Amino acid sequence: MTILATAPSPGFDAPGVEDFNLPPIFGDVTKPVLQFVLAAVLVWAFFTITARRPQLVPGKAQFLGESFHGIVRNAIARDNIGHDYLKYVPYLTTLFAFILVNNLFGIIPLIQFPSFSHPGMAYALAAMSWLIYNAIGIRKHGFGGYLRVSTWPAGVPWWVRIILTPIEFLSNIILRPVTLSLRLFGNMFAGHLLLLVFILGGEYMLLHSESLVVNLLSPFAFAMGIVFTFFEAFIQVVQAYVFTILTASYIGTVLADDH
């Protein structure tokens, strides 16, 4: 980054990985560190306000909180976990709200940086979900039983098992947290990069290009930037939802009696 800064190349520098390597605000505190704390505070405030003195007939705030909680409770937890789903609703709701707010930071003015475009916390949340569903599975079936449920599908000939069991083990035990975290990270990373390309590109076209035609074309770049901002909003919600629903689905799978 320093090298690039000291040797400015002529023409447009396409935004890249270096744009995600923001300088720390102080010490080891990077921008996402503050965003995670801010997101936690916002989510806490949202649920605390909406759940204060709940009424049978909800007011607007309570309705909002109940709707959010109800989506995770009924559409995600109940449909994917089934019996005994209530135990996991608090974790799933917190997960969904926390990821959602951090994702939306990517398009909220003045913040405009999706926290999960740094992969650290995506790893951490994926690891947490991995620990949780493995722990649930082991507690329900015992260690051997859980391994059998996860890697030994019923009604398969022995020669298929030679291939199938390693694949099942790999996909169910090893790769799930990897895909879970990389999917979230990759989407946020790519989405932010996309917006950078359009906005910084538009800025370059408007301010730094010597060609008048290119100057005049710059609004199209900004317009595309706005279009993709809406698209990003959609992606951010979907990714938060996907992370949560996959976690719920993994829990539901290990709780199922016959896989």
Partner 1 sequence: MTTQITILAAEELNPLVPHWSEIIVGTIAFILLFLVLRRTAFPQFERIYAERTDKIEGGLKRAEEAQEHAQALKQQYEDQLAGLRAEAARIRDDARAEGQQIKAELRAEAEAEAARIRQRGEEQISAAREQAVRELRGEIGGLSVQLAERIVGESLADPARRSATVDSFLAELDQLAPRREQATPAGGAS
Positions that interact with partner 1 (CB under 8 A): 1-3, 17-18, 20-21, 27-30, 32-33, 36-37, 39-40, 43-44, 47-48, 50-52, 54-56, 58, 62, 65-66, 69-70, 73, 86, 89-91, 93-94, 98, 115, 118-121, 123-125, 128, 185, 189
Q: Which amino acid, 33? A: V
Cβ 235 to partner 1 shortest distance, Å: 18
Choice between 124 and 167, CB closer to partner 1? 124
Cβ 238 to partner 1 shortest distance, Å: 20
Question: Which residues have CB under 8 Å from 155's CB, separation 6+?
Answer: none
Give the C-alpha separation, 21 to 237, whole Å: 24
Structure tokens at 71: 């989506």
Give the C-alpha separation, 244 to 251, whole Å: 11
Question: Which residues have CB under 8 Å from 108's CB, separation 6+?
Answer: none
Cβ 197 to partner 1 shortest distance, Å: 16
Q: How many residues does the chain have?
A: 259
Choice between 30 and 172, CB closer to partner 1? 30
Q: Is the separation of the CB atoms in 151 and 169 below 8 Å? A: yes
Choice between 58 and 153, CB closer to partner 1? 58
Cβ 98 to partner 1 shortest distance, Å: 6
